[in-house]
Homo-oligomer: A and B are copies of this chain.
Amino acid sequence: MSKKRGTSLDDIAKSLGVSRALVSLVLNGKGESHGIAPHTREKVFERARELNYRPNQFARGLRLGKSSTLGLIVSDISNPFYSHISRYLEDLSEGNGYNLITCSSDENPEKEMRIIDMLKSRNVDGLIVSTSQNTPVPFLNLKAEGFPVVLIDRHFEGQNICSVTVENFEGAKNAVNHLLQMGYRSPVALAISPTHISTINNRIEGYKTALKEASLGARIFEVEFAKRNERVDSILEMLFVTNQFPDSIFAMNNALAASVLAKLRGMGISIPSEVGVVSFDNLDYFSIMHPGITAVAQPIKSICMAAFQLLTNQIDGMVHSTQNCIVSLPVDLIVRESTLLNRKF
């Protein structure tokens, strides 16, 4: 039960009969510029290797005021969209000497704030967050105190807060237009609530616009994230028994799409002949299913690269205030069989 602390700078210094300042200098590559003799440098490196020295990141962080750690906050890491985001960001972080701590907020604003606090007290150097706040204030505050943050997936209209989103409006509009082109006439939309989230809101607007341009009526149902399965079940049942069942469904995120597909299957309603389905967010299994599910795919890699870039720019103080830090990336409509009206599968 020995509380072993690993080898410290001091251990190396003592064993070599030099000061720990010297060891620190050498190990940080500042040996040459500080005129440490090559021979001494060699010895230090060698001994460090022998003793398997790993700098204590606490001490380092305490002194330096930085942690080489980044924080990622998403609503749920077990959602494939976010787990892929997490994975890419992890790779980017590792490649650039950072570490990543990923946390799930469950779309809960208070929990999100608690996580932000905790991450700050852990001295993360910056934050990437898919926020569920309904006000930009917390992020304005962070910005005011010079704390690096970039929002992903969601942003605040008219606020100059760094963010990376996709063209939700255009993507949704395209998806609905595709339904209309295929001959569907009464697409219903399912949206995750709270709908104040920019992402959802923009998708709703895209849906509405497409229908308006075709002079068709819009029907939108809001679904609380946590109760999505039950809610989707009851909505679809209600529509069915009241004879208002749509000829197509636009699910505004992957979780809703999954709920819809499960329920449709349970009801024995077949896709796409009885109902067309299009999902915002692509999932691996959409291409495996029979029929395949038409979906709007987000460029996950690009999102991550952009967010990472924006964040490290802030951390390194490389921000030219002229530079736009609000990025919107294009999406891609992948047409599969779930929207081929009158086709049987």
Contact = CB atoms under 8 A, between A and B. Distances in A.
Contacts of A56: 62, 121, 123
Contact of A104 (B2, B90, B99, B145): B90
A99 B147 CA distance: 21
A261 B284 CA distance: 11
Interface in A36-93: 54-59, 61-62, 65, 67, 69, 76-78, 80, 83-84, 86-87, 90-91
Contacts of A284: 258
B317 A1 contact: yes
Interface stretch (A3-11, A17-25, A154-162, A216-224): A3-11
Contacts of A122: 57, 69, 99
- Give the most central of A1, A102, A120, A317: most B CB within 10 Å: A102
B54 A58 contact: no
B261 A123 contact: no
Contact of A290 (B2, B102, B103, B290): B290
A133 to B, nearest CB: 18
A117 B54 contact: yes
B289 A262 contact: no
A105 to B, nearest CB: 11
A193 interface: no
Contact of A65 (B3, B54, B91): B3
Interface residues on A, range: 35 or more
Contact of A78 (B2, B86, B265, B317): B86
Interface in A285-319: 285, 287-290, 317
Contacts of A5: 65
Contacts of A87: 76-78, 104
A330 interface: no
25 contacts: A2-B146, A3-B146, A4-B146, A5-B65, A6-B121, A54-B117, A54-B120, A58-B58, A58-B62, A58-B67, A58-B123, A62-B62, A69-B122, A77-B90, A80-B80, A83-B83, A99-B101, A99-B122, A258-B285, A261-B285, A265-B290, A285-B285, A288-B289, A289-B289, A289-B290
